[in-house]
Amino acid sequence: MYPLFSANITLNLQNSALLTCLLPNLSAILQLISSMASHSHRFLSIFIILAAFCLSRFSCCGGMEKEKTFAMIKPDGVYGNYSDKIKAIIMDSGFSIKRELRVQLDEDTVRSFYAEHSSKSFFPSLVKYMTSGPILVMILEKDNAVADWRKLIGPTDAEKAKVTHPQSIRAMCGLNTEKNCVHGSHSIQSASREMSFFFGMLVECMVFFYFIYFFIYFFLFYF
Ligand code: RTP
Ligand code: MG
């Protein structure tokens, strides 16, 4: 299940190596390919580009990489202008921000994201809170990222966090058990699900449009 992004999307694909190279230089790449002498050379070059893209996608899951986790600055954090401060804490704590995306969630997306809590009494209130304004979602990377990010954000109840974990992010910008400013994945499995939930669809869309672009280009100019 993927989220429906309704508005207000800004995107940081800084570290998506091949996409970052390919997309801004698409017309230059197309010109280079079209200057090649034969159809076979052109199709070979397309094959190499797509294969490199697929390899880069697989390499994101390889064992050589550091652990990744999913982080979110919730509407109260964004609205309260805590985003830059939280990002500074993230960097100072040794994480690198691999991706980030500012997005306004709709109700269905929140219901899907927090499905594990759908039977809880606070669920309707949680849906209202999470749709009350834009959020900032991020992929963070470092050794032991999942556990370290959970530790950094502190307990769910921000009031309690102010007493027991005064250095935590929720102590700094959270208000109570619900409005607690930030989210963090509980486990490597949930991190994987949540990263795909927000960033999987985006990459698939970009690949889809990339393919469409190629097909239109070749049909118009070569057949
Ligand atoms: P999160 O998933 O957002 O990182 O928070 P968490 O693990 O610390 O807490 P969780 O139990 O997963 O709850 C998800 C979010 O639901 C809201 N909540 N409200 N009113 C309440 O009693 C209540 N309990 C939880 C919070 O926004 C919590 O972060
Ligand atoms: Mg949770």
Task: Tell me the domain boundaries of the chain.
Answer: 68-199
Say which range, 90-104, 141-155, 177-191, 205-219, has the weakest mean pLDDT.
205-219
60 contacts 97 by C-beta, under 8 angstroms? no
Q: How far, in Å, from the CA of 20 to the mean position of ligand 2?
A: 32
Model confidence over 198-223: pLDDT tens digits? 998 666 667 777 777 777 766 666 65
Select the more confidently predicted residue: 43 or 23: 43
Average pLDDT over residues 150-167: 98
Rounded Cα gap, residues 185 and 205, in angstroms? 24
Mean pLDDT estimate for the chain: 82
Q: Is the dihedral of CA 12, 14, 19, 24 positive or negative?
A: positive
Rounded Cα gap, residues 22 and 53, in angstroms? 9
Assess whether the C-beta atom of 19 lies below 6 angstroms from ligand 1: no
Strand partners, 96: 141
Assess whether the C-beta atom of 126 lies below 6 angstroms from ligand 1: yes
78 contacts 134 by C-beta, under 8 angstroms? yes
Q: Please, which pLDDT band fits residue 9 given cuts at 50, 70 and 90?
A: very low
Ligand nearest to the CA of 178: 1
Other C-beta atoms closer than 10 Å to the C-beta of 119 total 7
Model confidence over 27-77: pLDDT tens digits? 676 666 666 656 666 666 666 777 676 666 554 444 568 999 999 999 999
Q: Is the pLDDT of residue 22 over 60?
A: no
Q: How far, in Å, from the CA of 184 to the mean position of ligand 2?
A: 7
Supply the CATH classification number for the domain 68-199. 3.30.70.141
Q: Whose CA is nearest to atom 26 of ligand 1?
A: 178
Q: Is the pLDDT of residue 12 over 50?
A: no
Average pLDDT over residues 134-139: 98
pTM: 0.74
